[in-house]
Amino acid sequence: MSQPNPAHNRVGPGSTSGRDVIRPEKVLILGSGALKIGEAGEFDYSGSQAIKALREEGIRTILVNPNIATIQTSADLADEVYFLPVNSHFVERVIEREKPDGILLSFGGQTALNCGLELDRQGILEKHGIQVLGTPLETIRTTEDRHLFAEVLRSIKLDTPRSRACEDLVTSLAAAEEISYPVMVRAAFSLGGKGSGIARNAEELTEMANNAFANAPQILVEEYLEGWKEIEYEVVRDAQDNCITVCNMENIDALGIHTGESIVVAPSQTLSDHDYHRLRSISIELIRHLGVVGECNVQFALHPQSDEYRIIEVNARLSRSSALASKATGYPLAFVAAKLALGYCLIDVPNSITKVTSSCFEPALDYCVIKMPRWDLKKFRRVSTSLGSEMKSVGEVMSIGRKFEEALQKACRMLGVGAHGLVSARNHFKEDDLHQLLEVPTEERIFAIGEAFKRGWSVDKVHALTKITPWFLQRVREVAKCQKQIENYSFEELPPSLLRCAKELGFSDNQVARSLDRAEPIPSGYQAALDVRDRREELGIRPVVKQIDTLAAEYPAQTNFLYMTYNGSTHDVVPRDPAPFVVLGGGAYRIGSSVEFDWCAVNAVDALARAGHRTVMINYNPETVSTDYDSCDRLYFEELSLERVLDIVELERSQGVVISVGGQIPNQLAVPLGSRGVKILGTDVDSIDRAENRERFSSLLDDLGIDQPEWRELTSIEDACSFSERCGYPVLIRPSYVLSGAAMSVAHSDEEMEIYLKAAADVSREHPVVVSKFIAGAKEIELDGVAQDGNVVCYAISEHVENAGVHSGDATMVFPSQRLYLETTRRIKRIARGIAEALSITGPFNIQFIARDNHIKVIECNLRASRSFPFVSKILKENFIDYAVRAMLGQKVESPSKSAFEFDFVGVKAPQFSFSRLKGADPLLGVEMSSTGEVACLGDTVEEAYLKALISVGFNLPKKGVLLSTGTIESKAAFLDSARKIEELGLPIYATPNTHLFLEQNGIDSTMLHQPLDSQSPNVIEALEDGRIDLVINVPRSLERKDLTSGYLIRRKVVDYGISMLTNIQAANLLVEALWEIRDPQQMLVKPWSEYS
Amino acid sequence: MVFQFRFRAKGSFLGDPIVDSSPARSESVSESDVTGMASFRQARLELEDGTVFDGQAFGANRSVSGEVVFATGMVGYPESLTDPSYRGQLMALTYPLVGNYGVPAKPEGDPLCHGFESSRIQAQALVIQSLSSDYSHWNATRSLDQWLIEEGVPGITGIDVRALTRILRNAGTLKGRLLIEGSVDREEVLNAPYQDPGQRNVVAEVSCDQPILHRCGVEGALRVILVDCGAKTSITRSLLKRGADVLQVPWDHDFVAEEGDAVLLSNGPGDPKMARQTIDHVRIALNGDRPLMGICLGNQLLALAAGFDTYKLDFGHRSQNQPCVEVGTSRCWVTSQNHGYAVDGRRIPAGWAEWFTNANDGSNEGIRHLEKPFFSVQFHPEANPGPHDAAELFDRLLEVAR
């Protein structure tokens, strides 16, 4: 034996410390741009962590991200921020300016990854000598190209679904024949499974393939693994080849539903040690083979009745799942991945959560975590509501419990869709519909399963329909059983043991109150729930606080990551002095409430900390920075409900709660918390109610002599119709507590009124419906401000490009306002001062106005931070939240010295739509918000900023041809100058018959195309399909729905083919103006944020 | 029917409680069929420091006494419960949901006990947060509750295992007893002193009685002598799978005289110093050149024979996520462990070196001889339960034996 000692067999790279570490001086980080379906807030979390990890090393960081509402684009994080599109053109300009020597591609989702691949393909990275840090591009290419990936798997004898990569329809059809239907169709290089689905026959495959090829060069036709379990592993590997799996996750929904659309539990619940560790070993083997450096995600299908498995895919970058895994385990994945990208060895990266253990370990959980997607499909017209292999959800919630049932019920409530838990006393579903609801997955399925068990359906029957692993169904059945039992008792008779059992299974006080047998109907409001609470506290049934410490209490760890449970008897932490302030976060991202409120919440915590206070954050959204371990003194990953906030405020002995920085969810808690004696920071609770309650707010405006659109609060349809006829249609209908325009609508006739009123009443019975005169053709203006004791400290006035009628969240916003009369501005300021004084506002507020010919009306006022706070704060470089917090703390706050009039640049905020994800949805804008995110860009002119913003949200500037269909005669006329400019720019114009005629009469050449419904050639649809058109201006004749069919067909085709489109005449005019002014958009200025001042 | 979910903590191990603890109450309920509401026997876990946890009984209707230990692995209860290292111990699992995937069929007539680590449950009792009343897994034929009943092992569920774990980790180890209401031996256990498996030679209880030869079926295969101090069957399975025969011998067997290509000292329960005869045999073996490897208890036995000392860790390693670094390299394995004592790596006998250390607390995780093929690890390369990272150690053993 020449080499007797096995320990000598391996020569390691030496003590890693320092030796192999790469030290770039300046690193470029690509963000993910606007939030969209499939790419949301998780990349703000990962990018922010990456910047912090690099900064700690003394490396300069340059960030390109047009998403102005993110934390990562804050002034104190990256050294330079570029609010520019994440595409190869703009990024190359940034590279030329900044000359970075390293680039991080895996922290900005698919957008950053795709941009990185393109930069490499064009040789830009090589030309400028930029090193890609972390996972090599070669690995990324392998994982992104499904064919290459499948080959690699076969070469190392790992199982993968039988599949064929196809680049055209003919080969796709042949592949499907060979594999046999049904087949799974996936598009390569896509985010969130866009262009994917299940095809059961050639016809379905043809349609899907055509759509997919419009967006991707290649699709994969593969074996469809119906009913298999879907399991994911989050894997970390360092350059020294150490490999760990931070977490595994089990999808509750069987394979076939995109993991972003599935309810997911961590850790896996129905895997044995053999299953768990076999898949873990396979993950590690694969990742080592691929050579990932940093973090990645491996998805498996596992046969429910055998050992068979298939590897579905690898995401060689931080992903939605890795954000979830990080929050679920307490392991700082993104931070560690950034360190590993610099060549660090896992054992040399300290664990910043526990402070006592290494980063080279795998968290042990002593709780279970559930992620539930948040959909917002009701916001869209004509959208298909069934779930499948494409993502439709706009956000997610994460709940923690020590029983699966507890976590599941918490998650149901966190969605904020009105559910009191998994099951409720009310029967939402008809027995006849249940079968269908279980078989065809929709966002309601989990509730339908609860209902099925309440009706006594068997686990076998539900399993046969849903394919969900029985263990999960059994848990749902437990909840249903418990709820049925509670129904047998009155409040007085409810046995304490049953109450405790219900709490352990995750029932809320409100849910218990509503399940109890009552002689009288349950009173509205919070009292019934508070009665249960009081009773419960008398009985000593209280939740306990537990820590997420990554090692299940094996060592003492210093962690501030907390949750509450009824499955425990001892608190892990005690209140500390000094008493903290509690900040309520924004909850799940959904349409109308998104990353901008996370920015507000994080900045509020920072401001409180700067003032020397201890801070507690409550939030449950795993895609946020506010739920990062380093964002506050204590983080409660908990419900934003009256019950839970009271629990935490009492436990922490908090000295005050900030409800005004997290959007509408915390704002709605102001009144009930206040009436329970909780100190609310800032504006008095009664003033908040005066602003929220339409009746009270309206009389306040009347008292102040401020104009408002005519309105009535009404309770019957007849009254609503007679009022509307009197003041004249169209009218706007909305409930008094508005959540992102939910159930808000414009009615043009009595008939429409009737349809809408039913929908609105469904949203909130407690609050009557408000009908107001809808004013057309008016400009919409917003004022964001901060006041102290009724004096306005700072404010920002922005104008909308689109006229009133487009939801403010979907509108293009310009700040500083460019086209307002001085007098209008003056009046707006005067009104704002009056309202601030009358409500004695202390803290953030936002007022929305409409103006026509200098007549100004107030349409809305919120005594909280608005969606545009980060936008105006970053342009003014004055942090409005900081002002607001200092004002609320009672510090003397001086107004900023700068005025918006001194700016010689302008910011434009543009909406990001995700219509391409939402099969069938009509991409038309209205009073219901439908954008999923936003960007903002800066420019010397409004045109420049607008073009950059449009490109940032994926708009392609026209080169081939423009299709015009410009609606009413008024809007046709309004677009006439623009049409001339398009002609002069040399772009061929295509037009629908009426628009063509109008253009002809005005001497503008265009090619006439028939409407889709006319089925005549040349037809709009043909032109769209053969690629002659790359810009569509489609303005509807009116918002009335019956007219929409031809327009709808055009718009939908445009979306499905990924063609750029505007549907608003003011926005279209601004675009043409911009194209006219900026003849060569390639030459637009590339300047960092710091140089705009 | 009596309900008592609360436990009364005596002593102030967690500082002032935020919530006033009200006295435990009892009340009865009829017509209940929700889990946790169903009829159950009351169970009480008492620790020697006076802490009491009240919960619900499951498994066998027996009361027991022994050392209370915890394990933080999230999977692998069939493997852990049958691991002979847990002999005489009341095992608490920190993962709160247990029994979800049921238990495989009894390995009748299978000497290698596939799916398990020995032919019976070795732990005295099982302590958990929440027992799953249902299970789903294709490979399971019975529930955890049913298995415990079949094996005569009691369990307690519905207690705050995290709170228990914090007590245990601070105390190192504690003795305790599980009292099941209505069990015939309740009074007996209550009146007897706490049983301490550390005071007796548990290794002798779990070792085989006589040598057993396991053949891999390959002609001319290497033969590894497995000194069974309470060996998990997956050690044997790991070697057979790699094409070696295994001669399993009792803990006190004179293995030095046995013919074989390598020796493997197995894992096992209790205090290493109790296995005096094994240490004596190892000392003799160290004079020769035959490859020798130790696992867990085997690491401590080899260390003691080589002149190392052992000591009690401040916080024992009771998990499947322990990072172990090979000294002099940057290679780190995530390993499965269950031990409260460690080899003292600060005083190293001549001719020996530390092989692995723990990345968390720096404690010793393995030793090796500088010249001869003697080496051992504190962790479990055979996994089951736990990660398979270190499985290649079996390859190394066979390599040097060749």
| Confidence at residue A949, expressed as pLDDT on a 0 to 100 scale | 98
Q: Name every chain B residue with its beta carbon within 8 A of the beta carbon of A240.
A: 330-331
Q: What pLDDT digit, counting tens, does each position of A429-451 carry? A: 888 889 999 999 999 999 999 99
A233, A273, A283, best to mutate vs chain B, most B CBs in 10 Å = A273
Hey, are the CB atoms on B100 and A554 less than 8 Å from each other?
A: no
pLDDT of A851 = 94
pLDDT at A14 over 50: no
Q: SS3 string of A818-851?
A: CCCCHHHHHHHHHHHHHHHHHCCCCEEEEEEEEE
Token pair of B156 as six digits: 């307690």
d(CA A1042, CA B343): 81
Cβ within 8 Å of B, A 738-797? none
Whats the size of chain B, residue-wise? 402
Put simply, the chain A residues between 198 and 257 with a CB less than 8 A from any chain B CB are: 240-242, 244
| pLDDT band (50, 70, 90) for residue A515 | very high
Whether chain A has a CB inside 8 Å of the CB on B294: the answer is no
B380 is catalytic: yes
Q: Looking at A368-372, A383-387, A474-478, B178-182, which range is the least confident one?
A: A383-387
Mutate to test the interface with B, among A567, A573, A634, A648 (most CBs of B within 10 A): A567
C-beta atoms of B162 and A345 within 8 A: no
- The answer on pLDDT for A899 being more than 80 is no
pLDDT of the residue at A866: 97
| pLDDT level of residue A1008 (50, 70, 90 thresholds) | very high
Q: How confident is the model at residue B33 (pLDDT cuts 50, 70, 90)?
A: very low
pLDDT for position A13: 34
What is the average pLDDT across A579-588?
Answer: 98
What confidence category does residue B11 fall into, taking pLDDT thresholds of 50, 70 and 90? very low
Answer whether A21 touches B (CB < 8 Å): no
Enumerate the residues of chain B whose CB falls inside 8 A of the CB of residue A568. 160, 162-163
What's the whole-number mean pLDDT along residues A1057-1061? 95
Write out pLDDT tens, residues A662-708: 999 999 999 999 999 999 999 999 999 999 888 899 999 999 999 99
A350 near B CB under 8 A: no
CB atoms within 10 A of CB B64: 22
- Architecture of the domain made up of A26-135: 3-Layer(aba) Sandwich (3.40)
Question: Region B177-193: what's the mean pLDDT?
Answer: 95
- pLDDT at site B37: 47
Fold category of A137-161+225-316+319-363 in CATH: D-amino Acid Aminotransferase; Chain A, domain 1 (3.30.470)
Mean pLDDT of A127-139: 96
Among A232-241, A343-352, A904-913, A992-1001, the minimum mean pLDDT is found in A343-352
Asked whether the beta carbons of B168 and B49 are under 8 A apart, the reply is no
Q: Where are the domains of chain A?
A: 26-135, 137-161+225-316+319-363, 162-224, 370-538, 544-681, 710-773, 779-903, 954-1083
Q: Residue B254 phi/psi, 5° resolution?
A: -80, 80
pLDDT of residue A909: 98
A270 touches chain B (CB under 8 A): yes
Position A852, amino acid: R
| Confidence band of A1041 (pLDDT split at 50, 70, 90) | low
Q: From edge to edge, which strands make up the β-sheet containing A711-714? A: A711-714, A769-773, A731-735, A745-747
**Mean of all residue pLDDT scores within chain A:** 91
Average pLDDT of the residues of chain B: 90
First to last CA, chain B: 65
List the CATH code of the domain at A370-538.
1.10.1030.10
What's the confidence (pLDDT) of residue B315?
A: 83
What's residue A1037's pLDDT? 79
For CATH 3.50.30.20, the residue range(s) in chain B are: 42-198
Average the pLDDT over A1007-1021 and give the result: 93
What is the per-residue pLDDT for A778? 93
CB A66 within 8 A of CB A83: yes
Respond yes or no: is residue B296 known to be catalytic.
yes
- Higher model confidence: residue A474 or residue A741? A474
CA distance B274 to chain A (A): 27
The CATH number of the structural domain formed by A162-224 is 3.30.1490.20
Considering B214, B253, B339, B380, which one is annotated as catalytic? Answer: B380
Residues B324 and B299: their CA atoms lie apart, in Å, by: 14
Q: How many helices (H) and strands (E) does chain A have?
A: 37, 38
The answer, yes or no, to whether residue A11 has pLDDT greater than 50, is: no
Q: What mean pLDDT do residues A1031-1055 have?
A: 81
Give the architecture-level CATH label for domain A544-681: 3-Layer(aba) Sandwich (3.40)
pLDDT at A289: 97
Give the phi and the psi of residue A863 in degrees, each rounded to 5: -90, 55
A7 inside 8 A of chain B by CB:
yes
On the CB side of B349, how many CA atoms lie within 13 Å of its CA? 13
Note which residues in 111-170 of chain B have CB less than 8 A from chain A: 115, 129-130, 132-139, 159-163, 165-166, 169
In this prediction, residues A996-1018 reach a mean pLDDT of 95
Portions of chain B given CATH number 3.40.50.880: 202-401
What kind of fold does domain A710-773 have according to CATH?
A: Dna Ligase; domain 1 (3.30.1490)
Token pair of B348 as six digits: 């190293």
Read off the pLDDT band of B13 (50, 70, 90): very low
Residue A256 confidence (pLDDT) above 60: yes
pTM over 0.90: yes
pLDDT at A63: 98
Q: Does domain A779-903 have CATH number 3.30.470.20?
A: yes
Contacts of A391 (CB under 8 A, 6+ apart): A37, A38, A192, A193, A194, A258, A260, A261, A917
Is it the case that residue A68 has pLDDT exceeding 50? yes
Q: Which residue has the higher pLDDT, B36 or B7?
A: B36
* pLDDT band, very low/low/confident/very high, at A195 (cuts 50, 70, 90): low
**Per-residue model confidence (pLDDT) at position A741:** 40
Each residue's pLDDT tens digit, A754-802: 777 766 554 345 657 788 899 888 999 999 999 999 999 999 999 999 9
Best-predicted range by mean pLDDT (A97-101, A166-170, A176-180, A745-749):
A97-101
Percentage of chain B surpassing pLDDT 70? 90
Average pLDDT over residues B105-129: 95
- Number of A/B CB contacts below 8 angstroms equals 281
Domain A137-161+225-316+319-363 and domain A779-903, same fold? Reply is yes
List the single range of A4-18, A78-92, A457-471, A819-833 with lowest mean pLDDT.
Answer: A4-18
Q: Considering only alpha carbons, which residue of chain A is nearest residue B315? A: A555
CB crowding B114-135: b at 16 or more within 10 Å, else e:
ebbbbeebbbbbbbbbbbbbbb
* Cβ-based neighbours of A71, under 8 Å, separated by 6 or more: A44, A48, A77, A598, A599, A602, A625
CA distances from residue A57 to A132, A332, A765, B368 in whole angstroms, order as listed: 17, 17, 56, 37
Q: What is the CATH number of domain B42-198?
A: 3.50.30.20
- Residue-wise pLDDT for A869-888, tens only, equals 999 999 999 999 999 999 99
pLDDT tens, position by position, A703-730? 999 999 999 887 777 788 889 999 999 8
Pick among 3.40.50.300, 3.30.465.10, 3.40.50.880, 3.30.70.20: CATH of B202-401: 3.40.50.880
User: Do A636 and A628 meet the contact criterion of CB atoms below 8 Å apart?
Assistant: no
pLDDT at site A215: 73
What does the pLDDT average to over A948-966? 96
Contact A990, A1022 (CB under 8 A): no
Q: Which residues of A touch B313 (CB under 8 A)?
A: none
Of B21, B330, B355, the CB nearest to A345: B330
B337 touches chain A (CB under 8 A): no
Residues forming beta bridges with residue A656, ordered by sequence position: A581
Q: Is A572 on the interface with B (CB under 8 A)?
A: yes
Pick the catalytic residue: B281, B296, B324, B369?
A: B296
CATH number assigned to the domain covering A954-1083: 3.40.50.1380
> For residue A898, is pLDDT > 90?
no
Question: Does this complex have an ipTM over 0.85?
Answer: yes
Give the chain B residue nearest A366 (alpha carbons). Answer: B95
**Catalytic residue flag (residue B382):** yes
Residue A71 vs residues A82, A430, A1089, B194: alpha-carbon distances, Å: 14, 45, 15, 57
